[in-house]
């Protein structure tokens, strides 16, 4: 038996990048679908945190996720649980729509649970789905051989140099493999328990491997785990704006620049040093834009003059607070 273990898509995590922010995640999910089609695993496990934003999921983000699940569902069985990012509140889940598509027969090969544990039969095993909404310490140990799917930080797991606090992994004897989500760095927390890591980089300081795991089991033993890299634009930090590679998204960590036009389009984050001033936006542009707006609204000229005088005072006050 073999299957794909993937988690922590965090769709929408890079909204601040502006137009095209879903490009990296769409490329990564396309790679996941392509790999699934080419290797034909028995099933795919998606171990939570499909979305990023607790409060709101945008239409384009939903469309990307639904399209991906539809494609995977056409290839093999899919098992899905939510993570903490998928719950805007205790009573609602961003994956409700996916669950409805399953219940209405639109996703015929997908099993998903949002609020309760679920057992599914597959190839002589039980697939135990434990959503993040369930306290894992309250789940009774299984009496049959299982592949357990959960989303929580295991005590002692690591992210970079940081050791995580969390819950202990239940010492259940019948678990052949723990498919874990939540920690973004690929690692084993027990011989049979693995984090697949996040699908792609979600932060600029994440330099550890990304992608998913292809797991093979033979006679109740994990015989092979293959990390699968996903090719996407990388997030890097730069100290110079010269020669920023076009195939990355960059964070500029400080230095001098005189005009906003000096910043390459793929520099999507700026962390100015304390002694660095932001580029000045000419006053003339501000006044011209304000006047053009008032002209378009038919504001009388005498009232326009009053507004412009007031704006000059506001601008003077702003300079008192800006570096």
Could you read off the pLDDT of 26-52 as tens digits, one per residue? 999 999 999 999 999 999 999 999 999
Domain assignment of residue 89, yes or no: yes
How far out from the chain centre does Cα 50 lie?
A: 7
Residue 148: per-residue pLDDT: 97
Domain assignment of residue 139, yes or no: yes
Bridge partners (DSSP) listed for residue 187: 195
Task: In whole angstroms, give the CA distance from residue 162 to residue 183.
Answer: 11
Mean pLDDT confidence for 111-118: 95
170 and 317 belong to one structural domain: no
Residue 90: per-residue pLDDT: 76
Domain assignment of residue 170, yes or no: yes
Top-confidence residue, 302 or 273: 302
Domain assignment of residue 74, yes or no: yes
314 and 242 belong to one structural domain: no
User: Rounded to 5 degrees, what are φ and ψ at 288?
Assistant: -65, -40
165 and 238 belong to one structural domain: no
239 and 223 belong to one structural domain: no
Domain assignment of residue 289, yes or no: yes
301 and 266 belong to one structural domain: no
Residue 253: per-residue pLDDT: 82
**168 and 137 in contact (C-beta within 8 Å)?**
no
Query: pLDDT tier at 322 (50, 70, 90 boundaries)?
Result: very low
241 and 218 belong to one structural domain: no
Among the residue ranges 14-18, 178-182, 187-191, 200-204, the one predicted with the least confidence is 14-18
Mean pLDDT confidence for 118-143: 92
308's tokens: 């412009």
208 and 172 belong to one structural domain: yes
Domain assignment of residue 87, yes or no: yes
Range of the domain at 254: 234-270
Domain assignment of residue 275, yes or no: no
Q: Left, alpha or beta for 31 (phi > 0: left; psi -120 to 50: alpha)? A: alpha
Domain assignment of residue 28, yes or no: yes
165 and 211 belong to one structural domain: yes
204's tokens: 């600029």
Give the CATH number for residue 91: 3.60.21.10
Among the residue ranges 71-75, 153-157, 240-244, the one predicted with the least confidence is 240-244
258 and 298 belong to one structural domain: no
Residue 307: per-residue pLDDT: 85
189 and 307 belong to one structural domain: no
Query: pLDDT tier at 318 (50, 70, 90 boundaries)?
Result: low
Bridge partners (DSSP) listed for residue 3: 43, 215
Record the pTM. 0.81
Mean pLDDT confidence for 128-146: 91
182 and 250 belong to one structural domain: no
List, for residues 6-25, the tens digit of each pLDDT value. Answer: 999 999 998 877 777 899 99
Mean pLDDT confidence for 193-208: 91
How far is residue 264 from each of residues 241, 244, 250, 251, 294, measured CA to CA in Å?
Answer: 7, 7, 9, 11, 33
Residue keyed to tokens 């929580």: 152
Average pLDDT across the chain, whole number: 88
**185: Cβ contacts below 8 Å, ≥ 6 apart:** 158, 159, 160, 195, 197, 206, 208, 209
Q: Total domain count for the chain?
A: 3
Task: In whole angstroms, give the CA distance from residue 143 to residue 176.
Answer: 12
26 and 142 belong to one structural domain: yes
**Percentages (nearest 5) of helix, strand, coil residues in the chain:** 25, 30, 45
In this predicted structure, the answer to whether residue 141 has a pLDDT above a threshold of 80 is: yes
């Amino acid at each position: 038996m073999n299957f794909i273990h993937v988690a922590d898509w965090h769709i929408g995590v890079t909204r601040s990048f502006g137009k095209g922010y879903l490009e990296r995640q769409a490329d990564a999910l396309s790679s996941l679908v392509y790999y699934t089609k080419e290797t034909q695993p028995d099933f795919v496990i998606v171990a939570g945190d499909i979305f990023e934003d607790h409060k709101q999921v945008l239409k384009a983000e939903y469309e990307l996720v639904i399209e991906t699940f539809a494609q995977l569902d056409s290839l093999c069985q899919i098992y899905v649980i939510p993570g903490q990012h998928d719950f805007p509140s205790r009573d609602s889940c961003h994956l409700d729509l996916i669950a409805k598509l399953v219940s209405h027969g639109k996703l015929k090969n997908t099993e998903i649970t949002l609020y309760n544990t679920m057992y599914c039969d597959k190839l002589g095993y039980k697939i135990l789905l434990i959503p993040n909404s369930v306290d894992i310490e309250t789940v009774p140990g299984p009496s049959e051989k299982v592949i357990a799917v959960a989303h929580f930080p295991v005590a002692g797991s690591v992210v970079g140099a940081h050791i995580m606090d969390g819950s202990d992994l239940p010492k259940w004897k019948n678990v052949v493999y723990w498919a874990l989500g939540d920690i973004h760095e690929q690692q084993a927390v027990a011989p049979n328990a693995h984090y697949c890591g996040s699908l792609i980089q979600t932060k600029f300081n994440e330099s550890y491997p990304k992608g998913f795991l292809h797991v093979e089991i033979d006679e109740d033993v994990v015989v092979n785990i293959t990390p699968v890299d996903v090719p996407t634009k990388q997030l890097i930090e730069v100290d110079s704006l010269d020669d920023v590679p076009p195939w990355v998204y960059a964070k500029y960590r400080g230095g001098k620049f005189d005009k906003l036009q000096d910043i390459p389009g793929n520099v999507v984050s700026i962390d100015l040093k304390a002694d660095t001033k932001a580029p000045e936006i000419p006053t003339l542009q501000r006044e011209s834009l304000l006047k053009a707006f008032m002209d378009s609204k038919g504001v009388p000229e005498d009232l326009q003059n009053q507004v412009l005088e007031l704006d000059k005072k506001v601008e003077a006050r702003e300079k008192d607070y800006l570096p």
